[in-house]
Structures are given as C-alpha cells and as structure tokens.
Amino acid sequence: MSAKKTALAVLSAALLVPSLLTVPAHASPPAPPADGKGQPQQAPAGPPESMSTVGGALLGKPGVQVNPLAGAPALPATLTGRSWIVADARTGEVLAANNAHWRLPPASTMKMLFADTLLPKLPKDRVHRVTSEELADVGSGSSLVGVKEDLEYSVHDLWLGVFLRSGNDAVHVLSAMNGGIEKTVRDMQAHAEELQALDTHVVSPDGYDAAGQVSSAYDLTLIARSGLQKADFREYCGTSSARFPGRQDGGTREYFEIQNTNRLMTGAGGLSPYKGIAGVKNGNTTMAGSTFTGTAQRGDRQLLVTVMNPSGGLNSVYQETADLLDWGFAAAGKVKPVGELVPPKSADTSSFGSPAQTHDREPAAAGGKEGGRGAALAVAAGALALVAGGSYAFNRRFPAGRRRRPDDELLP
C-alpha cells in the first residue's frame, strides 16, 4: 500500500472513532473516570443535551419543564437541585421536572430498588445468624445500624436497619441471604429494567459510591412508586423509630433505639416534620451529595418528589423537597403534565415519549431475572389500580425523635 493510501486509511479510521464511541440514549452509561484514588470523579457540571425520553419527550430535555395553566403557582425560586421531579403518585402524571433523566450517583436512595427487589423474596419472620464473611466487604466509612457477627436477627429487624439507619451492614446481610452481592446486583438490575428505570446502573446494592453506579430523579421516583405499593415497604419507610437488637448475654438480648434519618419525618436538624409525609428514602455520599425521594399526602392527593444534589447546607435536600411538595399540592389542576411515570414492561407501555429499551450491560451487571417477573406483575397490577383511583394505606403520623450521626451519609 502506498504512503498516500496508508495515510487516507488512518484518517478514515480516526474519523470513525467518534461515531463508534457515541452512547445511544438508552445505552448503559459509561463509568466515570477515576480520580487516582480508585474513586470516581464528580459528574459533569451540566446535564447532557440529549437524555432518555422514557415518560415523555419533554423529560428528555435539559432544564426546567413545566406547563402552567391559568392560576398556576410559580415554581419555588430557590431550587438548586441538579435534578428534580414532582409527580402524582396515583395517576403517574409528572407535574414538573428539571433534568429528569440526568444520570447521577444516587447514594442510599439506591436502597429503594434493593428493597423493592428483595422484600418479596425474604419472609420477614425468618431468623438469620450473621457471619463475619457477610460483613467483610462493607465499604469503609459506611453508615451502619450495628449488625454484629455471630448474633441472630430477623429479616424484619434487618429491614428496619436498612430503612431507618441506612445500614450498609444490614444490606450486606440481606444480600447474603439472597445468594450474595453479585446475584443481588443482577436481581436489582433486572428489576430496574422491568420497571423501565433505564437510567439506573447498579454496581453496589447499598448505594455506596462506585464507578458507573448511577440513577436519575425519574428512575428513583418510578422505583419509589413501585415500592410504595408493597405493604412492608410502606411500613418500613414510614417508621420513625424502632428498637433494634443489640448485644446478647446468655439468653438476654439487649435493644437500642434507632430513628429514621429522614428529617422531614422526624424534624431532626432544626426542621419541622412535613405534614402528611410518609417516607421514603434519603442518602448522602461524597459523590452523590444529598439525594432524597419523599412522598406526602393531603386529602386524596398523593405526591412523589425526588431531589438530587442541591447546593447549600445539610438541610437543602429536605427544604427543596418540601418546597416542591407545597408547589405540587397548590398546582393541582393548574398545570398540564409534562410526562408520566410509565408502568412496568409487563404492563401496557403505550405512553408518552419513546418506548423503553433494555440496556447493554457489563457482565457484572447483567443477568437473569430470578423472581423479578412475578413481583413485577404484582407491581403492574398495583400501578393500574392506582391510576383507576385506588389509594395507599399510609401511616401519616410520625413522632419527632433524636438521631445518631451515621459515618458515611454525612448527616442526611
């Protein structure tokens, strides 16, 4: 081959590289680069120009999306969350959103998917003796509820530790009971895809910072809506305080009080409990900043709000969630939806926007759907019942209580 032809071939190959590396709207998100210490770097400063359109074309656009009608209240002027969404929990209508499909680190809000996936698999009265191996891989600096090796815990106790204290130790034990971390990650990924939460890429079941682990405000809201159709999920995320098993001296077991780290529920950190709050999950890590999905009810109206990574102090994620809930209740009937929370794949998916597609996954995040389809069918039936006008059976009263600082979640 002549030198001229060789140069042309090299140039042609170089021109093809960008197109080969382009990530389609529904493909698995690339892992963020490492910062030299084995930790992923912060997400880009701004959202991508093109995002998923699952749930509606407007939800794939960057920036605030809202369609006010006559008399609609203005959105709160002080919102700083990189991504947020306000949705009607019953109808699935998205009332307003900002960068709804931006893939960002989720922190412990990932535990909502963990719970929605595993709750149907593990009987709550099952008792398990914890081994040292089950706690060996809990991430350094993790938030812990205080699970100890060689002691017995019921599944019910462990779920309280997950929801109230965001205990990564409890997550690892429950994952072991499900067949291990790798299987649990596969199960969670399969369930996310069944729910059409296609921005979500699971690496660690507890939400611990990991390269490539992402979700979105849209997905977290979709997952919360699915979880809230399960009575046990509602019970755990709606519990303000509980007694957790401690040390055991002979036949006598000690207990200590644990309180929910959801400040809109307990009023911790100088906040007032939000009227009608019923959960669901908060998180805070170095990579994710503060994240929170909350649900509240007033009269027959049930809202879901997710806020990801606002600026400001430790209370910002709760204050912005409360402001968006207030706006959503005031905006009832005064805004045109900008999209919808789609039903699971196994239900009718004819809806706003482009249909969801399955991600291409790395081997560690791919796998079968053990137990996922049966649970998804139940979720689908619940979702359709909600659209038809059904209601949740939420606990609505939560006593205030003090809280203990977790190690990993930076005072969520």
Q: What are the residue numbers of the active site?
A: 108, 111, 166
Closest to 410 in 3D by CA, of 291, 293, 306, 324: 291
Closest to 183 in 3D by CA, of 375, 403, 370: 370
Q: Which two tokens stand for residue 18?
A: 């960008």
Give the whole-angstrom CA distance, residue 371 versus residue 357: 20
Tokens 């700083």 belong to 80
Q: DSSP secondary-structure letter at 147?
A: -
| Chain centre to alpha carbon of residue 40 | 19
Closest to 277 in 3D by CA, of 232, 243, 324: 324
- Give the helix ranges, DSSP H, for 97-227: 111-118, 132-135, 155-165, 168-177, 181-194, 217-227
Give the whole-angstrom CA distance, residue 24 versus residue 172: 33
Give the whole-angstrom CA distance, residue 69 versus residue 358: 36
Side-chain-side CA neighbours of residue 141 (13 Å): 10
Beta bridge partners of 297: 302
241 and 251 Cβ atoms separated by less than 8 Å: no
Beta bridge partners of 301: 298
- Alpha-carbon dihedral sign for residues 12, 15, 18, 19: negative
Is residue 401 packed enough to be buried (19+ CB in 10 Å), middle (13-18) or exposed (0-12)?
middle
From start to end of 62-173, where are the E strands?
64-68, 83-88, 93-98, 127-129, 152-154
157 and 173 Cβ atoms separated by less than 8 Å: no
Give the whole-angstrom CA distance, residue 79 versus residue 72: 18
Q: DSSP letters along 278-319, please?
A: EEEEEEEETTTEEEEEEEEEETTEEEEEEEE--SSSTTHHHH
